[in-house]
Each structure stands twice: as structure tokens, then as C-alpha cells.
Amino acid sequence: MAQPADAALYATGEKVFKGNCASCHKPDKDMTGPALQGARARWEGKGDIYAWVRNSTDVIKSGNAYANELFTKWNKSVMTPMALSNEEIDAVLYYADNYVPPAPKTPTDGAPVPAGEPQDVAFWPWMLVIGLLLLVVALSLGGVRKSLTNAVRETEGRGPVPDRTAWQSFKDWAWHNKTFASVLGLLLLTWGIVSAWDWALTIGVYGGDTVEHYKPEQPIRFDHTLHAGKADKGNLAINCVYCHNSAEKSKHAGIPSANVCMNCHQAVGESQRNPWSTAEIKKIHDATGWDGKAYTGTPKPIEWVKVHNLPDHAYFNHAQHVAVGKLECQECHGPIDEKMDVAEQWAPLTMGWCIQCHNEKEVKMAGNGYYDEVMARLEKNEKLGHRELKEYLEDEKITVKELGGWECAKCHY
Ligand code: HEC
Ligand code: HEC
Ligand code: HEC
Ligand code: HEC
Ligand code: HEC
Ligand code: HEC
């Protein structure tokens, strides 16, 4: 296809499209919503396409016939209201009408990216190699020294040094180098204890830097990088809370039901990335009883394998951290939308991990409704609790710890 005449407008349109529309529309194909190509022409004389894109529900409610026809045809799926200017909408429609499909992908393009960070090159094999080299040098030097000694003794008319076992030589050596030998012994002992301790600490710990991240196989190959990854990398950029919708209001973030998947996968039966996608998406259809035209079968829930498991005696609340603490999901779950084609436990979830963040993290109080009262008191410099005020004045910031984030009872029942 020819290049678009106005490359700048096309580029703007592409950006707006990928940021706002790509999770439901394709320029040239039907998806959750209709192909956008030709939409401007279809709206000619039938209604205000700008108003439609900004808030389709209003246009439907206004009784516009074409809008209502569309809405019914597309299973009453609702378009998200969007604050876009006429220029931006013009650009998107231009982009759609002049859409140039990307060059076909090579088969390897779609291959799942290996998850996780590249592992640090372990340094102990090198230690071993160097150790062995040193040993060889030491042994051969020992051999040279022995031959020299023997040669000297021979010229002096004495017999060669009697052969000793390695252990005897070692004892002799240690006896003559007592300080050095004790230090070495102590070092070895410490190293042994530390390694054993480290190892003991990793029992039952799955995330963190120390051990391989826990990443169980799931019943459907759901890929966070594709669904939640950035739009400019060709991904769908669906907001985390679209699926994990209780993260902002309750203890649990929650796993979406198959009906949430069906908002899109009723229409999207395959991906353009992987040949196995049809079979995987069919599992969603089976789970909801969708036969391709109607919901007829018996729904049977998808049994996702839980990745994160805090012990029962520890209390963790998502709303506290996401809505009140204003933390990004990624601070605790890592680059799930960038690197994890299979969800994994990224943080160690140990008590030390919780405590460390509470010790460092400053509570975001400015403009945070939950803290308006505390802020107002600070600004008026009225009496706060003694400890609060003292610690605030010391370093001008309040950490989670200073608000009680280290109290055992906050995290333990
Ligand atoms: C959450 C999904 C969703 C998003 C995001 C979305 N749309 Fe839609 N769109 C739909 C659906 C579904 C329809 C079909 C009508 C209906 O059901 O409301 C539609 C219909 C349309 C139509 C009418 C097409 C026709 O054939 O007349 C236009 C134009 C349109 N969308 C533009 C956009 C633009 C531009 C964006 C981004 C700025 C966008 N949409 C974002 C779901 C979406
Ligand atoms: C389209 C829906 C969808 C979106 C968007 C989505 N997720 Fe998920 N997420 C799931 C599903 C389904 C699972 C369960 C299957 C799995 O573990 O892969 C899951 C699992 C997880 C898990 C592991 C849960 C466990 O069992 O312990 C975490 C953590 C997670 N998501 C975080 C995120 C974050 C952070 C984002 C945004 C960057 C996000 N998700 C976006 C659907 C979604
Ligand atoms: C302060 C750290 C932290 C933040 C921020 C955080 N999570 Fe979690 N998340 C956890 C911990 C800890 C668990 C394990 C909870 C358990 O086992 O009870 C977890 C578990 C989950 C699970 C498994 C299901 C569940 O509810 O237990 C999902 C899904 C999830 N998180 C998604 C999210 C999303 C989406 C966000 C952002 C909106 C987010 N998390 C923000 C720490 C965090
Ligand atoms: C907002 C729309 C939307 C939602 C919600 C959604 N998906 Fe998707 N999903 C897509 C699109 C679009 C594709 C195809 C992407 C492509 O062609 O590149 C896709 C692709 C897939 C694939 C094929 C993956 C691959 O790598 O080829 C699977 C499996 C899948 N989705 C599972 C799910 C599951 C499970 C859920 C619910 C937890 C879900 N999706 C929710 C839009 C969505
Ligand atoms: C990345 C940083 C971070 C991590 C990791 C983290 N938290 Fe927090 N936590 C916060 C912040 C920030 C707040 C303050 C929220 C607010 O403003 O109340 C908080 C508040 C809390 C509170 C309320 C404290 C109070 O004084 O009321 C509890 C309970 C809590 N966290 C438990 C946990 C547990 C359990 C873990 C580990 C599984 C954990 N947190 C891990 C940042 C973190
Ligand atoms: C910010 C949250 C938080 C605070 C505050 C906290 N703990 Fe913990 N604690 C945890 C978490 C999470 C675990 C589970 C760690 C694991 O399974 O590795 C845990 C585990 C434990 C365990 C079991 C041993 C272990 O390592 O699994 C004991 C005992 C314990 N905590 C005692 C305390 C005491 C005593 C205090 C007060 C001085 C305290 N905790 C304060 C979060 C907290």
C-alpha cells in the first residue's frame, strides 16, 4: 500500500490510536469494536462522530438511530469515554483510513520472550578454577622445592627427605604458620556458617534476587506482556485494575472471571502472534459456555494456579498500599507487564521485605485525602502526637515506620 500523504498527521493518529483505541479496535479489521477504516464516511449525515468518540453513551442516549443500531450490533459493548480534541480524533480517523499494515512478521517475532532477568554470572566456578590453578602451582613449586632440598642434602652427603603424607606436611605447615592457619580456619568456618544460614533462609522463599522465581504453569497461556504491556510496543496496554478490579478497594486484588476476558474474546478468537492462540482462547469460550454464537454450554471456572502465597499469620491489604499508599503495582510485582509472559512471584514476600520498605518509604500525604487532617494539623503546627511531631521535625518526612508500620500487630493477627 502507498505511504500516507500526510506523514505527520498519520504519526499523531497512530499514537492516539495505540494509546486509546487499540485495546478494542483495529484499523482494518473488526475486533471488540468495528474496524475504524471508513468510519468517518459511515457517520456522514448520521451524527457527530466527535461526540461519539468522546462519549458514545451520551450519543446513544440522545436517541441517534445509527448509534443505537451500532450499539445493538456490537452486543451492547460500551466504549470508554475519552477526553480527546477534534484534532486528535481527526488524526485517528486519518490514520485508520490510510492505514499501512506492518510488514509480515517472521516466525521468531512471535516467540515468547524468556521471562525474568538475565542471571548474574555465578562467580564461584571461577573461584574454583583459580583455586585449582593455585593448587597446581603450589604442588609443582612444592615438587621443585623438594628436588632442590634433596639435591642440596645429597651434596652434603645426607639422604633424601623421607616421604611424608600430604596431611603430615599440612600439619607441619600449620604448626610453623600458626597465626595464618588460625585466620584461614576461622574464615572457612565463618563462610560455612554464612552459607548454611543463607541456604536456610531460602527455604520456602520464592521471589527476590536469591532464588529462582516461582512461576507455576497456568491452565491458559495468559500473557501479561501482551495484555498489559505498552502500546508503543504493539501491546494492548490494558490497565491492571480493569482485570484486578478489587485492588483499589479491598484486601485482595482478585483474579478476573472469564467473563472479563469475554468482553474482548467473544470477538477475538485468535491472536496474530502465535499459532497456538486459537486453542488457548477456545479454553475461555469453553469456560463460559460460549459456542461461537450464544452461551449454551455449562460454564466451568478456569482454575488459575495461585502464584503469591503469604502465610496465614501475616496480614496484607492491597487497598492500603494501592489506594492509600499510592504505590505502583510494579513496586511489588516487578515488570510483569514488560517481561513476564508467565506471571511470577517477583518479590521475596518475607517479613524483611515488608519491613525494609516501611522503613524507607515516605508516606505520600500531600494531596492524599486520607491524610488531609494530619497535613492540616502540620501546616497549622497544632499539637500532633508527640512521636509523630518529633520524628517529622527530625527529617521533614514521615516514613511508614513512623506511622506504625513496624508494629507487630499491624501485620500479624
Ligand atoms: C473498550 C473498548 C473500546 C475502546 C477503548 C474504543 N472503542 Fe470505539 N467502539 C467500541 C465498540 C464496542 C464499538 C461499537 C459500538 C458500541 O458497541 O458502542 C465502537 C465503535 C466505534 C466507532 C463507530 C464505528 C462505525 O463503524 O461507525 C468509532 C468511530 C469508534 N469506535 C472510534 C473509537 C476511537 C477513535 C477510539 C480511541 C480514541 C475508540 N473507539 C476506543 C469499543 C471501543
Ligand atoms: C486482561 C486481564 C489482566 C490484566 C490487564 C492484568 N492481569 Fe494480572 N492476571 C490476570 C490473570 C487472568 C491472572 C491469573 C493467571 C496468571 O497468573 O497468569 C493474573 C495474575 C496476576 C498476578 C499473579 C497473581 C497470583 O496468583 O498471585 C499478578 C501479581 C498480577 N496479575 C498483576 C498484574 C499487574 C501488576 C497488572 C498491570 C501491569 C496486571 N496484572 C494486568 C489478568 C490480568
Ligand atoms: C506493597 C506491595 C504490593 C503492591 C503495591 C501491590 N501488590 Fe499485589 N500482592 C502483594 C502481596 C504481598 C501479595 C500476596 C497476598 C497474599 O497472598 O495474601 C499480592 C497478591 C496479588 C495478587 C494475587 C491475588 C490476591 O489478591 O492475593 C494479584 C492479582 C495482585 N497482587 C495484583 C496487584 C495489582 C494489580 C496491583 C496494583 C494495582 C498490586 N497487586 C499492587 C503485594 C503488592
Ligand atoms: C481489552 C481486550 C482484551 C481482554 C479483556 C482480554 N484479552 Fe486476550 N487478547 C486480546 C487481543 C486483542 C488479543 C490478540 C492480540 C494480537 O493479535 O496480537 C488477545 C490474545 C490473547 C491470547 C493469545 C495470546 C498470544 O500470545 O497469542 C490469549 C491466550 C488471551 N488473549 C487470553 C486472555 C484471557 C485469559 C483474558 C482474561 C483474563 C483475556 N485474554 C482478556 C484482547 C483482550
Ligand atoms: C514497596 C513498599 C512496601 C512494601 C514492600 C510493603 N509495604 Fe506496607 N505500606 C507501604 C506504604 C507506603 C504504606 C502506607 C500506606 C498509608 O499511607 O497508610 C504501608 C502500610 C502498611 C500497613 C498499614 C500500616 C499502618 O500504620 O496502618 C500494613 C499493615 C502493611 N503496610 C503491611 C505490609 C505487609 C504485610 C507487607 C509485606 C507482605 C508490606 N506491607 C509491604 C509500603 C510497602
Ligand atoms: C510490615 C509487616 C510486618 C510487621 C510490622 C511484622 N511482621 Fe512478622 N512477618 C511478616 C510477614 C509478611 C511474615 C511472613 C514471612 C515469610 O513467610 O517468610 C512474617 C513472619 C513472622 C514470623 C514467622 C517467622 C518467619 O520468618 O516466617 C514471626 C515469628 C514474626 N513475623 C514476628 C514478628 C514480630 C515479633 C513483629 C514485631 C516486632 C513482627 N513480626 C512485625 C510481616 C510483618
For 349-365, the pLDDT digits (tens) are 999 999 999 998 888 76
How far away, in angstroms, is 345 Cα from ligand 3 center?
10
Q: How far is CA 44 from the centre of its chain?
A: 44
User: Mean pLDDT, to the nearest integer, of 214-234?
Assistant: 92
More confident call, 329 vs 208: 329
Contact residues of ligand 2, CB 6 A cut-off: 218, 222, 224, 227-228, 238, 240, 242-244, 255-256, 304, 306-308, 329, 333, 336-337, 343
Distance CA 208, CA 220 (A): 25
pLDDT band at 399 (very low <50, low <70, confident <90, very high): confident
| Phi-psi label, residue 101: left if phi above 0, alpha if psi -120 to 50, beta otherwise | beta
Angle (nearest 5°) at CA 125 between 122 and 126: 95
Q: Which residue has the higher pLDDT, 200 or 263?
A: 263
69 lines ligand 5 (CB under 6 A): no
Specify the long-range contacts of residues 275-280, CB closer than 8 Å, at least 24 apart.
276/221, 280/220, 280/221
Q: Does residue 372 surpass a pLDDT of 90?
A: no
- Of the chain, the end-to-end C-alpha distance in Å amounts to 65
Q: How far, in Å, CA of 28 to CA of 40, rounded? A: 14
Compute the distance from residue 257 Cα to the ligand 4 centre, in Å: 14
Q: How many A from CA of 227 to the centre of ligand 2?
A: 9
The mean pLDDT of 166-174, rounded to a whole number, is 83
pLDDT at 74: 82
Task: Assign domain 7-105 to its CATH architecture.
Answer: Orthogonal Bundle (1.10)
| Per-residue pLDDT at 384 | 57
Counting other chains too, the contacts that 227-236 makes at CB distance below 8 Å and 24 or more residues apart are 228/336, 228/337, 229/337, 229/338, 230/337, 230/338, 231/18, 231/19, 231/22, 232/15, 232/18, 234/18, 235/337, 236/22, 236/23
For the stretch 16-30, pLDDT in tens is: 998 888 888 899 988
Q: Is 13 in the pocket of ligand 1 (CB under 6 A)?
A: no
> Is the shortest distance between the CB of 237 and ligand 1 below 6 Å?
no
The answer to whether residue 240 scores a pLDDT higher than 80 is: yes
pLDDT (average), residues 55-74: 90
What is the rounded CA–CA span in Å between residue 47 and residue 66?
Answer: 8
Q: What is the structure's pLDDT at 273?
A: 87
Position 330 confidence tier, pLDDT thresholds 50, 70, 90: very high
Counting residues of the chain whose pLDDT is more than 90, the rounded percentage is: 42
Q: What is the pLDDT of residue 97?
A: 94
**Highest mean pLDDT of the ranges 1-5, 176-180, 378-382:** 176-180
Least confident of 42-46, 72-76, 260-264, 335-339: 72-76
CB burial readout 306-328, b (16+ within 10 A) else e: ebbeeeeeeeeebbebbbbbebe
Atom of ligand 2 nearest to the CA of 308: 27
**Banded pLDDT at 321 (limits 50, 70, 90):** very high
Give the mean pLDDT of 284-299.
Answer: 90
What is the arithmetic mean of pLDDT over 288-304? 90
Q: Which residue do the cell numbers 548454611 mark?
A: 196
Residues 86-132 have pLDDT tens digits of 999 999 999 999 998 877 655 444 444 344 333 344 556 667 777 88
From the CA atom positions of the chain, what is the Rg in Å?
Answer: 33
- Average pLDDT, whole number, for the chain? 83
pLDDT at site 333: 96
Is pLDDT of 3 > 80?
Answer: no
Work out the percent of the chain whose per-residue pLDDT is above 70.
Answer: 81
| Domain residue extents for the chain | 7-105, 117-156, 164-208, 350-413
* Ligand 3 pocket check for 242: Cβ under 6 Å: no
Of 59, 71, 77, 79, best ligand 1 pocket probe by most atoms within 8 Å of the beta carbon: 79
Q: Which of 33-47, 156-170, 387-401 has the lowest mean pLDDT?
A: 387-401
Residue 392 has pLDDT above 80, yes or no: no
Instruction: Answer yes or no: is pLDDT of 317 > 80.
Output: yes
Instruction: For residue 195, name the pLDDT band (cuts at 50, 70, 90).
Output: confident
27 with 17: CB under 8 angstroms? yes
- Among 60, 48, 42, 53, which Cα is nearest to 82's? 53
* More confident site: 320 or 164: 320
Q: What is the length of the chain?
A: 413
pTM: 0.67
pLDDT at residue 322, as a whole number: 94
